[in-house]
Amino acid sequence: MELIHGSKAPDFTLNGSDGKQHKLSDYLGKKVIVYFYPKDNTPGCTLEAEAFRDNAKDLEDQNTVILGISKDSLQSHDKFIAKLDLPFILLSDQEEVVCNLYGVLKEKNMYGKKKIGIERSTFIIDEHGYVQKIYRKVKVDGHVEAILDLLKNNYLPL
C-alpha cells in the first residue's frame, strides 16, 4: 500500500548507530524526519547528511528528531558519522524491511546496469505518528531548508 499524506506511518524497529534499537513509536510526541538515502560516503548522501547536521539545532528547536536510514551496516554508519560529525542517529536496514514499508526501493539505471536501490526520500511524521509530508526523488540542494521552513511556519497540521 502506497503511503500518502495523513496515513499512519508504518512503525518499525531498527538498530541504530548509537548501539540501541529504535522504534518509530518511541518518538510519539515529537515530529520525526525519516530520511532514506542510498549510501554512506557518496557525494549526494554526504551533502544531504551535512545539510541535516548544519540544521540539526534548528530542527531540534521545532521538537523534531532526525533519523537517517540506508541499507549500509552499522560499521559503515559509524565511519560516516565520525567523518561528518553527525549529531543524529543513522539506522541500518540491511534486510530492506523498512525500505519496503515506505516504498523507497526503486529500479535505478547505474552506468547502463539496472539495479534496485533506495530512491532518496524524506517523510515528515507528526507527533501522533501520521505522515504529514512526503518528498520523493529528493534533490539535495535546498531540501533541508525547505523542511525547516515548513516546520517553522507551522505548515504541518497537528
Could you list the active site residues?
A: 45
DSSP 8: B
- Give me the half-sphere count of Cα atoms (radius 13 Å) on the Cβ side of residue 8: 5
Q: Which of 149, 2, 84, 27 is nearest to 37 (CA)?
A: 84
**Beta-carbon contacts of residue 118 (< 8 Å; ≥ 6 apart):** 36, 37, 38, 39, 70, 71, 99, 104, 105, 106
CA–CA separation, 2 vs 19, rounded Å? 31
CA–CA separation, 72 vs 37, rounded Å? 10
Q: For residue 144, give the 3-state DSSP assignment.
A: helix
Strand partners, 32: 65, 125
